[in-house]
Amino acid sequence: MFTVKSQLSLDTVHEALVIGVFEKNQPLDGIAAEYDRRLGGQLSVLFKEGDISAKKKQISHVHTLNQAGAKRLYFVGLGKKDALTFEGLREAFGKLWKTLKQAKRTEAAVALDTFVTDDIDANEAAHALSEAYYLATYEFPGYKQKKNEPEKRIETITIYTEADAAEIEASLFVGSVYGKATNSARTLVNTPGNLMTAADLAGYAVELAKKYEFEYEILEKEEMERLGMGALLAVNQGSKKPPKMIVLKYQGREQWDNVIGLVGKGVTFDTGGYSLKSRESMVDMKTDMAGAAAVLGAMEIIGELRPEQNVIAVIPATDNMISGEAFKPDDVITSMSGKTIEVKNTDAEGRLILADAITYAKHHGANYLIDVATLTGGVIVALGVHTTGAMTNNEALFEQLLEASAETGEFIWRLPITEKDKERVRSSKIADLNNSPGREGHAIMGGAFLGEFAEDTPWVHLDIAGTSVAAKDYDLGPSGATGVMVRTLATFVERFE
């Protein structure tokens, strides 16, 4: 896919050559100036007349009419040089790859050094380029009958740079790992619920474990009953399909200590149970396992890059269905931790299965916990669809995760958990906890409930109900599943101290 070279000649043949351009007052410089001279100053004229733009994320292209080796020059507008961020560069590359894909180009070259600034070096630019390529060109294969015509897509990308080739190749590899793993999560989430059951999710996790030599464990229903996982089992009661508790263990240190626990909600389809969702709200509930997909995507990156960390991934998987056996409002259930829960809303099921998963992660020695879940509609009301909600009991842990999210562009915003909030989830008169003590501060109630099971273990809760799916195409992907938090979790693990 990627080839790194040092010398770019104006006579080198390419279907498309990509050049980054910044807003500035001086004439074209570098390789752009060389092509301008070859083309008789016509590029300068096009810039002056606005046919080529250096404005942020503007993609312009010019056919050289066989006056140079490159058939077409693609100019990527980067805005002001001192204002370009890594995230902005990644988005610009994303828009570029979408443009080239739509134009059905099969080969391209990139003058990488034209994207470098004082704050973004060639290695970072290479990472952004590679990651953006995989994110932006992703498509869910779907289930339509296939046409006989082969699909045209970019198969070869040549990178020209004066930077160290081995380092650039390493950065391209890391970027591709991040992009591919995010796409893996997207595909899991986009898959219909009848084709992505708890057993299917467990099977995927086992294949991942075998590929990367993780230790793994898949708990069956009988084992959950023996361990007292009453919360997960209650949610599964209405289903004909058995639940799975999925565990992946990666040991990157000699001793099993300082263990990071990643816990992902794996509700493969959510009807709401007897607290039945409306027809409109039930559509797309195949995506209610996006937290599980995020954890599996992060584990793919961890398997590829092998950081010196210890990680335990725990995914409770089931659907939430209705039958004569299904759990009901007013039921009281006993979780693995021993805490009893009064069920006031069977559609607040994610926090129930996560309760047992958090307890089981601690059972496996997790010293730090991050749970990821499409938990509440309330977080969408509070923060919209571009920001993930977060809650925590530990400032230092949250700050490290916040830094990782800023680096990946997957933004999070902290919501508070006060003593009054804790009192509300403990408000049941007949059990230790109430799983749904009212609509006020609904997102916070979900997080506060999970905090009762994290207890004193440093913990962060991520509510991705708004960010796990995009309603329309964007620079780094199509509509549908976003794979949000895959890259943040992996970056957090890699940098964790």
Average pLDDT (263-287) is 97
Q: What angle do CA 287, 262, 127 make, to 5 degrees?
A: 80
CATH of the domain at 293: 3.40.630.10
Phi (first) and psi of residue 273, to 5 degrees: 65, -150
- 349 among the known binding-site residues? yes
pTM of the model: 0.97
| CA nearest neighbour of 290 among 434, 403, 388 | 388
Distance of alpha carbon 391 from alpha carbon 444, whole angstroms? 8
- 347 among the known binding-site residues? yes
- 270 among the known binding-site residues? yes
Distance of alpha carbon 125 from alpha carbon 80, whole angstroms? 16
Average pLDDT (443-448) is 98
Average pLDDT (414-419) is 98
Same structural domain, 146 and 291? no
Same structural domain, 274 and 386? yes
Among the residues of 142-266, which ranges form H helices? 165-190, 198-212, 221-227, 230-236
Residue 218 lies in a domain: yes
Single-letter amino acid code for the residue at 464: I
Confidence class for position 465, pLDDT limits 50, 70, 90: very high
Same structural domain, 279 and 321? yes
Residue 396 lies in a domain: yes
- Rounded to a whole number of angstroms, the distance between the first and last alpha carbons of the chain is 34
| CA nearest neighbour of 457 among 256, 261, 316, 266 | 261
The 10s digit of each residue's pLDDT in 98-134 is 999 999 999 999 999 999 999 999 999 999 999 999 9
Residue 356 lies in a domain: yes
Distance of alpha carbon 152 from alpha carbon 141, whole angstroms? 15
One DSSP character per residue, 439-493 reads STTHHHHHHHHHHHHHTTS-EEEEE-TTTSEESS-BTTB-SEE--TTHHHHHHHH
Distance of alpha carbon 113 from alpha carbon 169, whole angstroms? 14
- Residue given tokens 């807003």 in the structure block: 23
- 319 among the known binding-site residues? no
Residue 39: give the domain boundaries: 2-163
Confidence class for position 482, pLDDT limits 50, 70, 90: very high
Residue 282 lies in a domain: yes
Same structural domain, 213 and 134? no
The 10s digit of each residue's pLDDT in 336-346 is 999 999 999 99
pLDDT of residue 26: 67
> Which entry of 71, 81, 277, 422 is annotated as an active-site residue?
277
The 10s digit of each residue's pLDDT in 43-102 is 999 999 999 999 999 999 999 999 999 999 999 999 999 999 999 999 999 999 999 999
Taking the CB of residue 124, how many other CB atoms lie within 10 A of it?
18
pLDDT surpasses 90 at 260: yes
Q: CA-CA distances (angstroms) from residue 397 to 260, 313, 417?
A: 11, 17, 16
277 noted as active-site residue: yes
Confidence class for position 25, pLDDT limits 50, 70, 90: low
Same structural domain, 395 and 352? yes
Residue 414 lies in a domain: yes
CATH of the domain at 114: 3.40.220.10
Same structural domain, 232 and 148? no
Same structural domain, 252 and 336? yes
Distance of alpha carbon 245 from alpha carbon 359, whole angstroms? 12
Same structural domain, 244 and 150? no
> Which entry of 98, 105, 286, 351 is annotated as an active-site residue?
351
Average pLDDT (235-244) is 98
Number of domains in the chain: 2
Quick one: CA torsion of 184, 186, 188, 190, rounded to 10 degrees?
-150
Same structural domain, 246 and 344? yes
Percent of the chain exceeding pLDDT 70 equals 99
The first and second tokens of residue 154, run together, are 């970019």
3-state secondary structure of 3: strand
- 265 among the known binding-site residues? yes
3-state secondary structure of 318: strand
Average pLDDT (419-433) is 97
- Residue given tokens 């939430």 in the structure block: 320
56 noted as active-site residue: no
Percent of the chain exceeding pLDDT 90 equals 96
Helices and strands (DSSP H and E) totals, the chain: 16, 20
Confidence class for position 148, pLDDT limits 50, 70, 90: confident
Rg, C-alpha atoms of the chain: 25
Query: What mean pLDDT, rounded, does the chain reach?
Result: 96
Same structural domain, 108 and 196? no
pLDDT of residue 17: 98
